[in-house]
Chain A
Amino acid sequence: MRVTAGLLLASASLVASATFAAAQTDPFANFTPVTDAMLADPPAGDWLMWRGTQNHWGYSPLDQITTDNVGDLRIVWSRAMTEGHQEATPLVHDGIMYIPHPRDIIQALDATTGDLLWEYRRELPAEGLPSIILTRNVAIWEDRIIFNSKDNFLVALDARTGELVWETEVRGQEDWGWSTSGPMIANGMAISGRSCAQQTGTGGADTCFLTAHDLATGEEMWRFYTLPQPGEPGYETWAGIPDDARRHVGSWITPSFDPELNLVYFGTSVTSPYSKFYKVDAANLDDEFLYQTSTLAIDATTGDLVWYQQHIRDQWDLDHPFERILVDTVIAPNPDEVRWISPNVVAGEERRVLTGIPGKTGIFYSIDRATGEFLWARETVYQNVISDIDTATGRATHPVEMIPTAIGQSLQVCPPAVGGKDWPAGAYSPLTNTIYYPLHNLCMNSITLETDIRLSPYVLAPGATNAGTIRGINVETGEQTWIWENATPQMSLLTTGGGLLFGGDVNRRFRAFDQETGDVLWEQIMPAQVGGFPVSYEVDGRQYIAVPVGSFLLSGAYTGLNPDQRPGTGGNAIIVFALPEN
C-alpha cells in the first residue's frame, strides 16, 4: 500500500510538471496563417482539408513510413471522442490537430500527444435536430476554423483560441436537412453544399443549394440551386410537377477545386421519393429531374454553372455526391477492361480529368474537367441499373425492367443504397497513377412501398463471396491493377509517399497495403469500427498516421452482413500511429 501511494504521488508530480511545462510553452507560437496559396499547395507535413488537397487525392507525400518499415508502426497516442456517429477527418497545421466531434464540438489538440488545447461546443437547439448528427470535416483559412453547423450556420472560430469570430445563418432552422460535410476554401471563400428536404420534411425546393461565403465577413457571395427554381435552366426537366413536390436534390460531400480553371466540382444526391412513378406519368419516368445524380462544375467566383454531367437518372437512392478526384494524366483506356470509350479519345493524349467513382453505382468515369466532355467509363462492382452509356455524351441507359412503375413491385437493385461506393473515400497515388477505392459487392432486395422504394435488406451481389473489396483502378488505362477482398466492408483510404495505402474496416481492422501489389503489410486491431478518414502529417520530423474510429451512420447495414462479427457500436476515439523514435 505504501509503495502504491508513493507511485501515485510521483505520478501526480509528473502530471503536474507536465501541465506546468505545457503552460509555459505556447502551442500556437509557431502557428502561421493558412493562405490560399498554402491551400493550393499544402506543406507536406500538414493535412489542411478533408482529402488533404483541393484535388481530393487523399494523398500525403510524406515518406518516412515505407513499405519496408511499416511493420514497426506503433500507437503513440489516442484520445476518446464525443459519442455519436463517427465520420470525422482531423486537420493538422503547424503541429495542431483540429478535429470535429458529433454534435458540433470542435477540438484543437497537440498533434504529438493529443493533449487538449481548446474546445468549442456549439449550443444547438433542443428541438428540430435528429439525435444523431455528424460532421465529416472542418476547414481552415488564415487563422480561422470554418465549419457548417447543424443549426444551419456557417461558423468561423479563432484557430488559436476556439472563440467564435463570426457566424452566418445559411438556411432557416425549421428546414429539414443539414450539412454533414465542411466547405472547400477557394479564393477566400467557403464553398459548400447541404442536404435538403425529403418528401415528408420541412422546407421546399428552394432549400437545395450551394453557397459561397466571404471568409473575412461571412457574407454570402453566391448561391446556386441544385434543384432549379422557376425560370432557371433545368426547371423544365421536372415534368411539370408542382414546385411543392420537387424535393431533395442536395450535395452532402465537400467539393473539389481546380484553382487554375477556377472551377469547383460538386456531386449531387437524388430526388425524394427516389422512384419517379410516385409523381409523374409513365411517359416521364426516365426524365432528367436536374440536377439529380450529376457532377456540377461551378465557377468559383460567380457561382455560374459551367458544365454538368448527369451520371444516372435515379430511381433507387443511388446518390452521386462523392469526392471528385482531379488528375492531369495521359489517357489510354484499355478496351479490354473499359466498356465505354468516347470516339473522341486519342490514346496517349494528356488531359486534365475529373475521374474516379462519383456515385453509388461503382461506375468509374474519366471526364475532361475543363469542358465536361465524357472520355471513358468502366464498371467495377456488379451493377444492374445501367445497361449502356452513350460514349458520345455520357448519358446512361437504364433497363426498363429496373424502373419501378407501381407500388408493390419487387426488384433486386445492384448496388444498393449503401453502394457500390458510399461516402468512405478513395485515394489517389501519383506514384502509381491509380485510385484505390473501398467498394462493396452488395445488392438490395427492394419493394416499392407506399412512400418510396424500400432500401433493404442488403445481400451479397451475384457471384460474390465477400462484401468488402479494395480495388485499384489506373486513371490512364482504366485497368484494375489489383483487388483485395474481405468479408466486411472497407472504409476510407489514405495513400502516402512511402508507397502505402492505409484503410480500416467495419470489423475494427486497420491495415497498411502495398500500393503496387495490394499485399497487406501491417494490421492493427482497433477498439471500434474504423468510421473516420485516415490522414498523415509530420511534426518535428516525425510522420504520423491518424484515424478516427467509432461506428458511423448506417453501419448497421454492414454489420448485419456478418453476424458472426460483433464490432460493437460507438467507441469514438482518435488513434495515432508513428514509427518508434529511435
Chain B
Amino acid sequence: MRRPFLIECKRQSMLVMLRRLTSVVALAFALTGPGSSAFGQATPAVPEDFLDHVRRSGDRIHFCLNPASALMEFDRAVGQRLADMLLLPAEFNQLANLNSHYGLDYRITLTDSDLFIQVSNECDALIGFPNPAIGTIQEWLMTTQPYYKPRFVLAFGPGVGAGIDDLAAGAIIGSRVSVYADSFLRAFLETQGNRWQRRIYSGNDGIVADLASGAIQAAVVWEPAINLAAATDPLATGIRVVDQPFALPVLELAIALPTNQVFLRNALDAAITELRRGGLNQLLAEFGLPAE
C-alpha cells in the first residue's frame, strides 16, 4: 500500500536536506543501537522475559502503528514519507491487544507495561502518538514535533442552522467524555446559563451517528471523525462545522520514541518540518482529512 512519493518542496533543497538527515540518522543508529531497551528513565516493572533484547536491523526505521486509530493508514503514509526523506526503508508493525472499539478515535488504549513491551520489541518509533493536552507523557518516552494538528470543532446536524444563535434553547450538544475539549464546552455552557444541554458520549462514533440522525442538534467533536464518517455514511455529509463561539483545542499527533533515541528524534523532527512545509496538505486530501 505504499503511496506515490509526492512532495512539493523544491528538488534542490530536498537533496541538501537528504544529505544532512542521512548522516544524522546513520549516527543515531551507530550511537544508540536500534532495539536497545536501556532507556535511562523510569520504566514500567516489566519482567525481563518479556523483552526481546534483539537488535533490529539498523538500516531501516521500524514504525509502530496504532490499529485502533481512525488515522492508522494516514499515519502509515506519513511514516513512509518521513522514511523516504531520510533515505531509509520503513517497516511497520501494528500494536496488538488494544481492546478498543472506537472506530473514529485516536487513543492508544494500552497499559503502560504493554506499551513498553511492544515499543521495546517491535519498533524504533511509535507514529500516531497523541500528545496529552495537559500533563506529561511516560518518563521513558519522548516525542517529535507534531506532524498533524486536527481540531476539535463545534458542529451542527443537518438543517440545524449556521451558528450558535440558531440553536434552540434546550437543544442537545454532544461531547466526548475525557477529552480536553469537553471542559471547554462545559465552561462555555456555564457562561450561557446552561441554555443548552450537554450529553456525554464514550466515543466519536456515537456523536457523529446521533448528529447525522438528528438525535442531537450539535456536538463538540474531533473534526476528522466528521470527514471519515461522511466518507461512508451519506447522512453524515449533512454535518457542518459552524463558526466557533468559543475556543477549542487542537489534537497534536506526533511520533513517540524511547528516550535513548535522541538522534533519530532530531532526524524525524527535521523531516516533519519538511513535510509540514510542503506535502502534508496533499496527503490530507488523499485521505479525506481536514486541513489544519
Q: Do most interface residues of chain B lie in helix, strand or loop, or is the interface mixed?
A: loop
Q: Mark A68-86, 1 if CB is under 8 A from B, else 0.
A: 0000000000000001110
Contact yes or no, A85 B47, CB < 8 A: yes
Could you tell me the distance in whole angstroms from the C-beta of A563 to the nearest C-beta in chain B?
9
Contact yes or no, A554 B99, CB < 8 A: no
Contact yes or no, A450 B180, CB < 8 A: yes
Contact yes or no, B97 A127, CB < 8 A: yes
Residue on A with the closest CB to B198? Answer: A281
The segment out of B143-151, B200-208, B263-271 that lies at the interface is: B200-208
Distance of A554 Cα from B111 Cα, bound (Å): 11
Could you tell me the distance in whole angstroms from the C-beta of B76 to the nearest C-beta in chain A?
19
Residue on A with the closest CB to B43? Answer: A556
Among B48, B101, B102, the most chain A Cβ lie within 10 Å of the Cβ of: B101
Distance of A551 Cα from B113 Cα, bound (Å): 13
Contact yes or no, A451 B200, CB < 8 A: no
Residues of chain B in range 132-187 having any CB-CB distance to chain A below 8 Å: 132-135, 177-180, 182-183
Residue on B with the closest CB to A197? Answer: B99
Q: Mark B102-116, 1 if CB is under 8 A from A, else 0.
A: 100001011101100
Distance of A554 Cα from B261 Cα, bound (Å): 26
Contact yes or no, A241 B200, CB < 8 A: yes
Contact yes or no, A407 B180, CB < 8 A: yes
The segment out of A34-42, A128-136, A208-216, A351-359 that lies at the interface is: A128-136
Contact yes or no, A278 B49, CB < 8 A: no
Contact yes or no, A176 B99, CB < 8 A: yes
Q: Which of B47, B101, B179, B202 contacts A570 (CB 8 A)?
A: B47
Residues of chain B in range 33-72 having any CB-CB distance to chain A below 8 Å: 42-50
Could you tell me the distance in whole angstroms from the C-beta of A152 to the nearest C-beta in chain B?
12
Contact yes or no, A569 B47, CB < 8 A: yes
Q: Which of B49, B96, B100, B113 contacts A202 (CB 8 A)?
A: B100
Could you tell me the distance in whole angstroms from the C-beta of B106 to the nearest C-beta in chain A?
11
B117: Cβ under 8 A from any A Cβ: yes
Q: Which of B44, B101, B117 contacts A556 (CB 8 A)?
A: B44
Knowing A128-B97, A128-B99, A273-B178, the reply to whether A447 touches B200 (Cβ < 8 A) is no
A12: Cβ under 8 A from any B Cβ: no
Distance of A560 Cα from B44 Cα, bound (Å): 10
A408: Cβ under 8 A from any B Cβ: yes
Distance of A363 Cα from B102 Cα, bound (Å): 38
Distance of A199 Cα from B177 Cα, bound (Å): 9
B199: Cβ under 8 A from any A Cβ: yes
Residue on B with the closest CB to A247? Answer: B202
Distance of A199 Cα from B178 Cα, bound (Å): 9
Distance of A199 Cα from B201 Cα, bound (Å): 10
Distance of A200 Cα from B99 Cα, bound (Å): 8
Residue on B with the closest CB to A204? Answer: B202
Contact yes or no, A201 B99, CB < 8 A: yes
Contact yes or no, A132 B134, CB < 8 A: no
Distance of A84 Cα from B182 Cα, bound (Å): 38
Contacts of A551 in B (CB 8 A): 45, 47
A505: Cβ under 8 A from any B Cβ: no
Contact yes or no, B133 A450, CB < 8 A: yes
Distance of A278 Cα from B177 Cα, bound (Å): 6
Distance of A569 Cα from B45 Cα, bound (Å): 7
Residues of chain B in range 116-142 having any CB-CB distance to chain A below 8 Å: 117-118, 132-135
Contacts of B180 in A (CB 8 A): 407, 450
Contact yes or no, B113 A132, CB < 8 A: yes
Distance of A110 Cα from B32 Cα, bound (Å): 48
Q: Mark A91-117, 1 if CB is under 8 A from B, else 0.
A: 000000000000000000000000000
Q: Which of B44, B133, B179, B201 contacts A242 (CB 8 A)?
A: B201
Contacts of A279 in B (CB 8 A): 177, 200
A336: Cβ under 8 A from any B Cβ: no
Contact yes or no, A131 B135, CB < 8 A: no
Contact yes or no, B100 A200, CB < 8 A: yes
Q: Which of A199, A447, A553 contacts B134 (CB 8 A)?
A: A447
A319: Cβ under 8 A from any B Cβ: no
Distance of A451 Cα from B178 Cα, bound (Å): 4
A555: Cβ under 8 A from any B Cβ: yes
A449: Cβ under 8 A from any B Cβ: yes
Contacts of B109 in A (CB 8 A): 200-201
Contacts of A398 in B (CB 8 A): none
Could you tell me the distance in whole angstroms from the C-beta of B73 to the nearest C-beta in chain A?
19
Residues of chain B in range 78-111 having any CB-CB distance to chain A below 8 Å: 96-97, 99-102, 107, 109-111
Contact yes or no, B47 A84, CB < 8 A: yes
**A interface list, Cβ under 8 A from B:** 83-85, 127-132, 174, 176, 199-202, 241-242, 244-245, 247, 273, 278-279, 406-408, 447, 449-452, 454, 550-551, 553-557, 559-560, 569-570, 572
Given contacts A174-B99, A245-B200, A569-B47, 16 further A-B contacts (CB under 8 A): A84-B47, A85-B47, A130-B114, A131-B113, A131-B114, A131-B117, A132-B111, A174-B101, A199-B202, A200-B178, A201-B109, A244-B202, A247-B202, A407-B183, A449-B133, A556-B44
Sampled A-B contacts (29; CB under 8 Å): A83-B49, A127-B97, A130-B113, A131-B97, A131-B113, A131-B114, A131-B117, A132-B117, A174-B101, A200-B100, A200-B107, A200-B109, A201-B99, A241-B200, A244-B201, A244-B206, A245-B201, A247-B202, A273-B178, A447-B134, A450-B133, A450-B135, A451-B179, A551-B47, A553-B113, A555-B45, A556-B43, A569-B48, A570-B49
**B interface list, Cβ under 8 A from A:** 42-50, 96-97, 99-102, 107, 109-111, 113-114, 117-118, 132-135, 177-180, 182-183, 199-202, 206
Q: Which 7 pairs, one residue from A and one from B, show the smallest C-beta to C-beta distance? A: A556-B45, A570-B47, A83-B49, A202-B101, A200-B109, A451-B178, A176-B99
